[in-house]
C-alpha cells in the first residue's frame, strides 16, 4: 500500500524531532499504522537549514502554500505556531481536503471552534495531541480512554518553564527574578518568557482540556489567568512548613452552576503525587466519576517528546483515513452538534463565582489587637478560618515599626466574598504591604 505523504510546515525543534523519530522508527510505525508514513515535502523560511536536516531526497520550499497545493500531500503538519499565518494555512489545508496535525495550542484555544467546524464540513481530521503537555497522551485519554466517565475536574502542571522556576525557588530559597534569569540561561525560559510566566501558555492548554472534559466549545476569552511573577520565596517557605507545595495549575471543574476555567498558583498538599512533579516535567490529574483519579506524567516539551505526539496523530489519521467521517472520534470527544447546547447548560463561570480555599500572607505592624481586627473582618464576610500562624517579628520597618507576617488558611469560600474581605483588610493602617493571596487546592 502506498505510504501516506506528509507535508511539514516548519522544521524547528518539533519538526526536526518529528523527522528524526519517523526516520528512526519507520518500520515500527508502519507496523502500527498499517502503511508507511513519509515526509515528502517541507516548508521553512530557512531553506538551507531545512535541507541540512532532511537531506536532498525531500523537497524543501520556502512557501507553505506550495505544500498545501501539492495534490500528492495527504496530511499537513502545522508547526509554525501563533495565531496569524498559522490559522490561514490550517484553514487553507482543510479547504484543500488535507488532514491536519498541529501542535499549536494558542491557535486551537482561540480559534478551535471555527477550525473544527471547517474540518467537519470538509470531512477531514484535525489532530492535536502535541498541543497539550508534549509527549503525554492526555488528549487521547480524554477523547477515548475516559469516554465512559463524567469528568468532574482536571488539574494540571502544564507549563514546564514555570514548574522549573517554582522547583528551583523551593530547592534554593531564591526569589522569582533570580531564578528566572537562571532558567533563561539554561534554556528553560525564552528570552521573552511572558506567555509562560504570566500563565497564558497554560491557559491555552487548560482551555482545550476543559472543552474535551465537558463537551463545550473552546472559550479562552473566559479563562481566568494569573501567573507566578508575584510569588515570593517566603510564600514557598511558609507553604512548605504548612505541608503544601506551590504549583502553577491549570484547573477546570464541573459545578452545579457551570464550569470553572482558571490558571493560577495553587497550594497543593505535599503528599499528593502531583505536588512532587519537579523541574520541567508536566502532569495532569483527571477525576472521573467511574474511574476516580488518574494521573498522566511526562515530558511536556522538547523535540522528540512532542514529536512522539505528532506521530501518534499521524498514525491515527492513517488508520482512519478511509473511514466514514461520521464514524471518526470527534476532535473534542463529544459530537459537534452537542457542543453549543452544552455551552448554555455549562457556562464558564466568572472568577468571582469560583469557590475554593485560600492562603493569605498579610504583612502587619506587630501590635496588640491587629490579629483580632483582621480575623473579625474575615468572619464578618462569612469566611471560615482553618488556621492562623503568626511569625516572630523579624523586621523593623519605617519609623521603627516592628513588622510580622500573619499566615491565614481559610476553608472554602466564594472568590467574590474573599475579594471584598481583602479590600477591607488592605485598608487597615496596620497592614503594611499588599496582601498575598494564593488559592489552595486539596485535589481529593
Helices marked H in 98-251? 105-122, 138-140, 160-172, 176-186, 194-197, 200-214, 233-241
Q: What is the pLDDT of residue 71?
A: 97
User: Per the annotation, does 180 bind a ligand?
Assistant: no
CATH number at residue 424: 3.30.70.260
CATH number at residue 48: 3.40.50.720
**Cell numbers at 165, concatenated:** 522556576
User: Per the annotation, does 15 bind a ligand?
Assistant: yes
Q: What is the pLDDT of residue 1?
A: 85
User: Per the annotation, does 315 bind a ligand?
Assistant: no
Alpha carbon distance 279, 163 (integer Å): 6
- What single-letter DSSP state applies at residue 442? -
The question of whether 205 is a catalytic residue gets the answer yes
Alpha carbon distance 236, 429 (integer Å): 26
User: Per the annotation, does 250 bind a ligand?
Assistant: no
Laid out side by side, the sheet with 75-78 consists of 59-61, 37-43, 4-9, 75-78, 99-102, 126-127
Q: What is the pLDDT of residue 390?
A: 87
Q: Determine the 3-state secondary structure of 329 from DSSP.
A: coil
Q: What is the pLDDT of residue 345?
A: 84
Identify whether residues 201 and 173 lie together within a single domain: yes
User: Which of 222, 192, 198, 203 has its CA nearest to residue 158?
Assistant: 203
User: Which of 43, 6, 45, 10 has its CA nearest to residue 23?
Assistant: 6
Catalytic member of 140, 205, 247, 440: 205
User: Per the annotation, does 16 bind a ligand?
Assistant: yes
CA angle 48, 54, 60 (to 5 degrees): 55
The answer as to whether 335 is a domain residue is no
**Cell numbers at 256, concatenated:** 452545579
CA angle 438, 439, 444 (to 5 degrees): 140
User: Per the annotation, does 81 bind a ligand?
Assistant: no
Identify whether residues 193 and 325 lie together within a single domain: no
Q: What is the DSSP string of 285-345?
A: EEEETTTEEEEEEEE-SSHHHHHHHHHHHHHHHHHHTTS-GGGSPPTTSS-GGGHHHHHHH
The answer as to whether 157 is a domain residue is yes
The answer as to whether 240 is a domain residue is yes
- Give the E-state strand segments of 343-429 in sequence order: 355-365, 385-390, 395-396, 402-410, 413-414
Q: What is the pLDDT of residue 399?
A: 58
Query: Counting every residue, how long is the chain?
Result: 444
Q: Is 301 left (phi over 0), alpha (psi -120 to 50) or beta?
A: beta
Alpha carbon distance 211, 128 (integer Å): 13
User: Which of 84, 86, 113, 110 has its CA nearest to residue 100?
Assistant: 86
The answer as to whether 336 is a domain residue is no
Alpha carbon distance 279, 186 (integer Å): 12
Identify whether residues 285 and 323 lie together within a single domain: no
Q: Is 333 left (phi over 0), alpha (psi -120 to 50) or beta?
A: left
Q: What is the DSSP string of 123-140?
A: T--EE-GGGSSTTS-HHH
Give me the domain span that covers residue 407.
355-440
Identify whether residues 309 and 296 lie together within a single domain: no
Identify whether residues 44 and 152 lie together within a single domain: no
CATH number at residue 236: 3.30.360.10
The answer as to whether 338 is a domain residue is no
User: Per the annotation, does 13 bind a ligand?
Assistant: yes
Whole-angstrom CA distances from 346 to 139, 148, 205, 219 are 21, 19, 19, 12
Identify whether residues 142 and 81 lie together within a single domain: no
pLDDT in tens, the chain (444 residues): 899 999 999 999 999 999 999 999 999 999 999 999 999 999 999 999 999 999 999 999 999 999 999 999 999 999 999 988 999 999 999 999 999 999 999 999 999 999 999 999 999 999 999 999 999 999 999 999 999 999 999 999 999 999 999 999 999 999 999 999 999 998 889 999 999 999 999 999 999 999 999 999 999 999 999 999 999 999 999 999 999 999 999 999 999 999 999 999 999 999 999 999 999 999 999 999 999 999 999 999 999 999 999 999 999 999 988 888 878 888 888 888 888 777 788 999 999 999 999 999 999 999 999 999 999 999 999 999 999 998 765 555 555 678 999 999 999 999 999 999 999 999 999 999 999 999 999 998
Identify whether residues 205 and 254 lie together within a single domain: yes
Residue entry with cell 534569569: 181
Q: Give backbone dihedrals phi and psi of 259, rounded to 5 degrees, phi first.
A: -110, 130
Identify whether residues 266 and 314 lie together within a single domain: no
User: Per the annotation, does 105 bind a ligand?
Assistant: yes
The answer as to whether 108 is a domain residue is yes
How many domains are contained in the chain?
Answer: 3
Identify whether residues 178 and 41 lie together within a single domain: no
User: Per the annotation, does 38 bind a ligand?
Assistant: no
Identify whether residues 242 and 151 lie together within a single domain: yes
Identify whether residues 143 and 113 lie together within a single domain: no
Identify whether residues 185 and 296 lie together within a single domain: yes
The answer as to whether 339 is a domain residue is no
Amino acid at each position: 500500500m502506498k505510504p501516506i505523504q506528509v507535508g511539514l510546515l516548519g522544521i524547528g525543534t518539533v519538526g526536526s524531532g518529528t523527522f528524526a523519530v519517523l526516520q528512526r522508527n519507520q518500520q515500527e510505525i508502519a507496523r502500527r499504522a498499517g502503511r508507511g508514513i513519509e515526509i515528502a515535502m517541507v516548508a521553512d523560511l530557512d531553506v538551507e537549514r531545512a535541507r541540512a536536516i532532511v537531506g536532498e531526497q525531500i523537497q524543501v520550499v520556502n512557501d507553505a502554500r506550495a505544500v498545501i497545493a501539492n495534490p500528492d500531500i495527504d496530511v499537513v503538519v502545522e508547526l509554525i505556531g501563533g495565531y496569524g499565518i498559522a490559522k490561514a494555512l490550517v484553514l487553507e489545508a482543510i479547504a484543500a481536503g488535507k488532514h491536519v496535525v498541529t501542535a499549536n495550542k494558542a491557535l486551537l484555544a482561540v480559534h478551535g471552534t471555527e477550525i473544527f467546524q471547517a474540518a467537519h464540513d470538509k470531512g477531514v481530521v484535525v489532530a492535536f495531541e502535541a498541543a497539550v503537555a508534549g509527549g503525554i497522551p492526555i488528549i487521547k485519554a480524554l477523547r477515548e480512554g475516559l469516554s465512559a466517565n463524567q469528568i468532574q475536574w482536571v488539574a494540571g502542571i502544564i507549563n514546564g518553564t514555570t514548574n522549573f522556576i517554582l522547583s528551583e525557588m523551593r530547592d534554593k530559597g531564591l526569589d522569582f527574578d533570580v531564578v528566572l534569569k537562571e532558567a533563561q540561561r539554561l534554556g528553560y525560559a525564552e528570552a521573552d518568557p511572558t506567555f509562560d510566566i504570566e500563565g497564558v501558555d497554560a491557559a491555552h492548554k487548560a482551555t482545550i482540556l476543559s472543552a474535551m472534559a465537558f463537551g463545550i466549545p473552546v472559550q479562552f476569552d473566559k479563562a481566568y489567568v494569573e501567573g507566578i511573577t508575584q510569588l515570593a520565596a517566603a510564600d514557598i517557605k511558609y507553604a512548605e512548613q504548612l505541608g503544601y507545595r506551590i504549583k502553577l495549575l491549570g484547573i477546570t471543574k464541573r459545578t452545579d452552576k457551570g464550569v470553572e476555567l482558571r490558571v493560577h498558583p495553587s497550594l497543593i498538599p505535599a503528599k499528593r503525587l502531583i505536588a512532587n512533579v519537579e523541574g520541567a516535567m508536566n502532569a495532569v490529574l483527571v477525576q472521573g466519576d467511574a474511574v476516580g483519579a488518574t494521573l498522566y506524567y511526562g515530558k511536556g516539551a522538547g523535540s522528540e517528546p512532542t514529536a512522539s505526539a505528532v506521530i501518534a496523530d499521524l498514525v491515527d489519521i492513517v488508520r482512519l483515513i478511509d473511514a466514514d467521517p461520521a464514524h471518526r472520534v470527534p476532535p473534542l470527544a463529544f459530537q459537534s452538534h452537542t457542543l453549543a447546547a452544552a455551552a448554555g447548560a455549562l457556562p464558564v463561570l466568572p472568577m468571582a463565582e469560583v469557590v475554593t480555599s485560600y492562603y493569605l500572607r498579610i504583612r502587619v505592624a506587630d501590635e496588640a489587637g491587629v490579629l483580632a481586627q483582621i480575623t473579625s473582618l474575615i468572619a464578618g464576610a462569612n469566611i471560615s478560618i482553618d488556621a492562623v500562624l503568626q511569625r516572630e517579628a523579624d523586621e523593623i520597618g519605617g519609623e521603627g515599626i516592628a513588622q510580622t507576617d500573619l499566615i491565614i488558611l481559610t476553608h472554602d469560600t466564594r472568590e467574590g466574598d474573599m475579594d471584598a474581605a481583602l479590600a477591607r483588610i488592605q485598608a487597615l493602617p496596620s497592614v503594611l504591604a499588599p496582601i498575598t493571596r494564593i488559592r489552595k487546592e486539596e485535589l481529593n
